[in-house]
Each structure stands twice: as structure tokens, then as C-alpha cells.
């Protein structure tokens, strides 16, 4: 997939991963068209860059001069454009397979894992750019510090976030494979957790070198099966290790040790132990790419978290943050980061469960995840194109939080009513955070606007 002179049509082009891929193909000289169901920022940006983007799916958009039709994992095989490509014998390529082909033309760093892969990918790209390596990158969220989520650089390295949701990561051949952790998710693709483990093991096994975060016990067991992986973590046995952690609001600092030798003090503009682990993965990948660890650590000081990753919306006597976390371990880690950086604040969490299938499988596990919250609002489930499942509601999570924690728990299905509740009940010093992969960010965004307009007096 060289791009120059080729023509590709992308079905679902407005998604964050598909739009990034489209922009890289455009930069490589390909002609790009695509379709999606609605206008958004990504669609408008691609049009400005020269892509022909249509709203709505239409089989007439698929013509015989195409070199390929690239399909989002959110698109099923009955889509009209996919069926038109099949009828005409045009190659149909899934998004991650297209990414895998792109990576073969570069030296590549692939970042995979159940949690943290977006942030870690952004950290790696930040380090390589800071070291004047002009990297290319494809990341699953807008990254303010990088000017977007995708870029074709002039250097040899390509950094790509490798998503496991559709199982296609097993076809990726990375020069450096990073694995942040392994957890139970995407059970619509995998039969069970052992199947997820096998997929991650196959992904790592295809790489020339591996960076494994062994604070995760599942990754630690995988490390024991491999020849000479670079292990990273806070655990004492990690080859690349963080010690002497300190937390101060949105910043974390730690001493970086390589095989027991202190390298430098790292000042990371991101909160929490989970981001220290992400940073260690990024530092390890940079080291394998030939970057001096001291230089890499200094480059990280200029890092900015991606969109919806602990994103500060307002600080006006009340702190308002939005976060993409939607799995129990992610929520627990983020609440731990708040408690470490803001030890005396009352924490109010607003959670929108994501997918009926995920709630059915993991609903009861969310209880203890909210242990550090003082108040928890749980909304209705964001379906993400899934049909409802009989008997599956957010009530399972409400009951689990009430059973496992001492937090006040409020079941408020409607986002507008959740906003009204927050406006009535917030007090000076509150730390309010929204959690979810759907549209829960609209709640904290409206609350931030309310606070910014001076409607709430904290004195």
C-alpha cells in the first residue's frame, strides 16, 4: 500500500481510526474517497485535505477504478458499498489490515493493550518528534500536542496504535511491539479471556522486539515465555523501572532506572501510576528505536494527554474532567490518580456504561472500581450500535456500586437530568469526572460552561 497514484474508498471514513488512515494515504499521494453516516470534524478536515467524502452509504460510490475498499470494523458485510465492492471483485480490506500494510514500508512501533494504548502511542510519538526523528503516527484520539491523530513524517519510524477489538492485531508485524496490559474486553470478538491472551501473545510473537509492562500479572506471565523482551514497570524485577513516585495534581515525577542504574528524574505532565506505566512503555520503545533515555525523558516533559484522556474542562473552585475510561480497571486507576494528586477533594463520578454486551459480562465488576468516589451517578447504557439485550440495564452497576462502596449512588438515566442534579449538588472543592466511551462528555462539557459563566459562586 504505497499510496502514490492509487485510489481507495473508505467506508466509515469519519471514525477516528479511519480518518487518520485516510489522511496518511492522502499524504502518500493516494486519491481518497469515503462515506459515513454523518458530518463531523474528521470529515470536514479530510475534505479540506482533498478527500471526496459523502454522507450516507451508496453503492454507486464504489467504481471499478478503485485499488481497494477499506472498511471500518464498525461496518458489517451487508453494507451496500461493501456488497458493491464484492460484486465487482474490488479488494476489500479491513482497517487494521490496511494499517499493517502501511507499517511494512517503515520501521514500526505498534502499541497494543486493553488499556493505555492511545496515551502510550502519543507518548512514543512525542518522544520521537522531540528527538528530531520526524515520525509518522496513527493514534486513536486527537492529540493536541501532536497536532492531530495522524501524520506522515519524513523519518523511518511509524508509531501505530494497534486495536484488538476485531481480532486483526494478529496480522500486524511490528519491529517493536509494545504491550501495556491484558484484560477482559471485546467479548463480542473473543470467546473468553484465554482467547484474548492468545491474540496478544501472537501479536507480540510476530515482532522483532517487545516491550512488556510486567506490572500486569498476565503480561508478566507472557514475558516468561519470550526470549529477551524488554520488561518495564514499577515492580522491582523490571529492566526499565520507575521508583520514588510523587504526585501533584496533573503532574507525576519518578526516578528512571535501567537495570538498576539511575538514569534521570522524569517529570511527566500526566497524573497517576497508570500513566507512569504508560510512560515506561513509551520510554522502552524509544530506547529500542535508538533514542537516549535521558533525551527521551526530557522530550516527555512536553507531552500533552490525548483528547478525552483526563481532559481538564474547567478549574473554577470546582474541577471538571472528562475521561474515556469505560472498563472497571481503567476507572479504578483514574480514581486512584485523583486521590493521589488531589488527596482532600470530594470526588463525584458520572458514569455512562458502554454497550449492552459489556454491561452483561462485566457489570458486577464495576462496583469496587468506584471505591474512592464519594458520589456516583450512573446513566443509561450507551448502545454503540448494539441492540438491547433482555434484562440488561445499568441497574446492575448501580447495585454493584451500592453493595461494594460507601459512595452515594444515583441512577439517573437521562443526561439532562444528570446535569441538573450536578448543578444542584456541587459544592466548592468538588472534583467532578465523567467516565465513558460514548457521549457522556456532553454532561461535563455543559457543566463546565455553566461554571465558566459564573453561575456557581464558590466563595
Q: Which residues have a catalytic role annotated?
A: 117-118, 161
Question: 390-415: string of b/e by CB count within 10 Å (b at 16+)?
Answer: eebbbebbbbbbbebbebebbbbeeb
SS3 letters across the chain: CCCCCCEEEEECCCCHHHHHHHHHHHHCCCEEEEEECCCCHHHHHHHHHCCEEEECCCHHHCCCCCCEEEECCCCCCCCHHHHHHHHHCCCEEEHHHHHHHHHCCCEEEEEECCCCHHHHHHHHHHHHHHCCCCCEEEEEEEEHHHCEEEECCCCCEEEEECCCCCCHHHHCCCCEEEECCCCCCCCCCCCCHHHHHHHHHHHHHCCCEEEEECCCHHHHHHHHHCCCCEEEECCCCCCEEEEEEEEECCEEEEEEEECCEEEEEEEECCCCHHHHHHHHHHHHHHHHCCCCHHHHHHHHCCCCCCCCCCEEEEECCCEEEEECCCCHHHHHHHHHHHHHHCCCCCEEEEECCECHHHHHHHHHHHCHHHCCCCEEEECCCECCCCCCCCCCCCHHHHHHHHHHCCCEEEECCCHHHHHHHHHHHCCCCCEEEEECCCCCHHHHHHHHHHHHCCCCCCC
Query: Cell 530506547 sits at which residue?
Result: 287
Amino acid at each position: 500500500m504505497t499510496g502514490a497514484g492509487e485510489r481507495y474508498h473508505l467506508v466509515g471514513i469519519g471514525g477516528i481510526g479511519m480518518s487518520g488512515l485516510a489522511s496518511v494515504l492522502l499524504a502518500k499521494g493516494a486519491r481518497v474517497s469515503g462515506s459515513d453516516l454523518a458530518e463531523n470534524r474528521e470529515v470536514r478536515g479530510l475534505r479540506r485535505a482533498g478527500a471526496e467524502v459523502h454522507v450516507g452509504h451508496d453503492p454507486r460510490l464504489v467504481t471499478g477504478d478503485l485499488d481497494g475498499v477499506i472498511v471500518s470494523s464498525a461496518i458489517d458485510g451487508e453494507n451496500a458499498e461493501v456488497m458493491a465492492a464484492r460484486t465487482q471483485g474490488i479488494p476489500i480490506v479491513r482497517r487494521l489490515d490496511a494499517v499493517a500494510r502501511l507499517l511494512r514500508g517503515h520501521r514500526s512501533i505498534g502499541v497494543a493493550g486493553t488499556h493505555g494504548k492511545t496515551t502510550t502511542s502519543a507518548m512514543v510519538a512525542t518522544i520521537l518528534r522531540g528527538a528530531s526523528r520526524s515520525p509518522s503516527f496513527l493514534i486513536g484520539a486527537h492529540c493536541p500536542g501532536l497536532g492531530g491523530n495522524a501524520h506522515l513524517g519524513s523519518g523511518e519510524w511509524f508509531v501505530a496504535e494497534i486495536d484488538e477489538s476485531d481480532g486483526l492485531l494478529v496480522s500486524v508485524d511490528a519491529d517493536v511491539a509494545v504491550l501495556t496490559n491484558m484484560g477482559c474486553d471485546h467479548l463480542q470478538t473473543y470467546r473468553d479471556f484465554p482467547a484474548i491472551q492468545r491474540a496478544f501473545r501472537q501479536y507480540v510473537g510476530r515482532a522483532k522486539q517487545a516491550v512488556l509492562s510486567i506490572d500486569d500479572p498476565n503480561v508478566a506471565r507472557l514475558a516468561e515465555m519470550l526470549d529477551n523482551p524488554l520488561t518495564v514497570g514499577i515492580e522491582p524485577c523490571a529492566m526499565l523501572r520507575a521508583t520514588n513516585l510523587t504526585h501533584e495534581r496533573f503532574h507525576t515525577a519518578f526516578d528512571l532506572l535501567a537495570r538498576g542504574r539511575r538514569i534521570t528524574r522524569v517529570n511527566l505532565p500526566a497524573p497517576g501510576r497508570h500513566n507512569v506505566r504508560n510512560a515506561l512503555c513509551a520510554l522502552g520503545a524509544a530506547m529500542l528505536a535508538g533514542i537516549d533515555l535521558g533525551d527521551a525523558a526530557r522530550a516527555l516533559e512536553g507531552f500533552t494527554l490525548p483528547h478525552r484522556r483526563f481532559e481538564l474542562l474547567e478549574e473554577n473552585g470546582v474541577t471538571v474532567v472528562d475521561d474515556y475510561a469505560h472498563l472497571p480497571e481503567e476507572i479504578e486507576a483514574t480514581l486512584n490518580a485523583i486521590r493521589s494528586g488531589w488527596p482532600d477533594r470530594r470526588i463525584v463520578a458520572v458514569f455512562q456504561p458502554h454497550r449492552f454486551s459489556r454491561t452483561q459480562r462485566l457489570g458486577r465488576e464495576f462496583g469496587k472500581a468506584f471505591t474512592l468516589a464519594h458520589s456516583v451517578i450512573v446513566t443509561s447504557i450507551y448502545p454503540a450500535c448494539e441492540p438491547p439485550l433482555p434484562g440488561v440495564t445499568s441497574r446492575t452497576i448501580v447495585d454493584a456500586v451500592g453493595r461494594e462502596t460507601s459512595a452515594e449512588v444515583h441512577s439517573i438515566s437521562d443526561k439532562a437530568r444528570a446535569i441538573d442534579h450536578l448543578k444542584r449538588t456541587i459544592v466548592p472543592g468538588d472534583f467532578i469526572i465523567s467516565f465513558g466511551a460514548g457521549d457522556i462528555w456532553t454532561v461535563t462539557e455543559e457543566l463546565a460552561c455553566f461554571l465558566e459563566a459564573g453561575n456557581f459562586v464558590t466563595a
